[in-house]
């Protein structure tokens, strides 16, 4: 996971069906890969309600994709007893999701 700050929000009318109803945030990582580069940003889906200016933890890769399927897919399947995370979300174009909104950081100084 990486630590970043929400710097904006994105809206799109025409979007992939898998992204329907998902809020999209623009997140600027505090430090990502070495060396930290100032202009870097990424877009993450947000289900926690993070606002601009808040620090968030962003999960990258496949877990982010799996995280959005649980409710939608379970209801679509009529609550069928498939293991959570195994269904259609695997095909969604998502690879970053907000997993926590940071209250407090100890150990490093954030700008």
Partner 1 sequence: MKRALIVGELWATRKVDDLVGRRLKLVVEHPQPGQATAQELGEAPLTVAIDTLDARNGQEVLVAYGSGARNVLLPGPHNRHILADAAIALLVDDADEGAD
Footprint on this chain of partner 1 (rule: CB under 8 A): 1-3, 30-35, 47-50, 57, 59-64, 66-67, 69-70, 83-86, 97, 99-108
Rounded to a whole number of angstroms, the minimum distance from the CB of residue 97 to partner 1 is 6
Nearer CB in complex with partner 1: 16/70: 70
Rounded to a whole number of angstroms, the minimum distance from the CB of residue 82 to partner 1 is 10
- Taking alpha carbons only, the member of 99, 96, 94 closest to residue 32 is 96
Rounded to a whole number of angstroms, the minimum distance from the CB of residue 100 to partner 1 is 4
Nearer CB in complex with partner 1: 78/107: 107
Nearer CB in complex with partner 1: 26/57: 57
Helix H or strand E segment including 107: none
**Do residues 4 and 28 make contact, with C-beta atoms less than 8 angstroms apart?**
yes
Rounded to a whole number of angstroms, the minimum distance from the CB of residue 33 to partner 1 is 5
* Cβ-Cβ contacts under 8 Å for 85 (sequence gap 6 or more): 66, 69, 70
Report helix, strand or coil for 7.
strand
């505090």: which residue's tokens?
A: 30
């Amino acid at each position: 996971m990486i630590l970043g700050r929400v710097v904006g929000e994105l809206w799109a009318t025409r979007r992939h069906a898998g992204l329907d109803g998902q809020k999209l945030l623009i997140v600027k990582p505090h430090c990502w890969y070495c060396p930290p580069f100032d202009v870097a940003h990424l877009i993450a889906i947000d289900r926690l309600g993070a606002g601009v200016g808040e620090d968030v933890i962003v999960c990258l890769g496949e877990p982010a994709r799996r995280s959005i399927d649980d409710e939608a897919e379970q209801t679509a399947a009529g609550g069928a007893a498939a293991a959570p995370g195994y269904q259609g979300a695997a095909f969604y174009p998502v690879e970053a999701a907000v997993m926590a909104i940071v209250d407090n950081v100890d150990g490093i100084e954030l700008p």
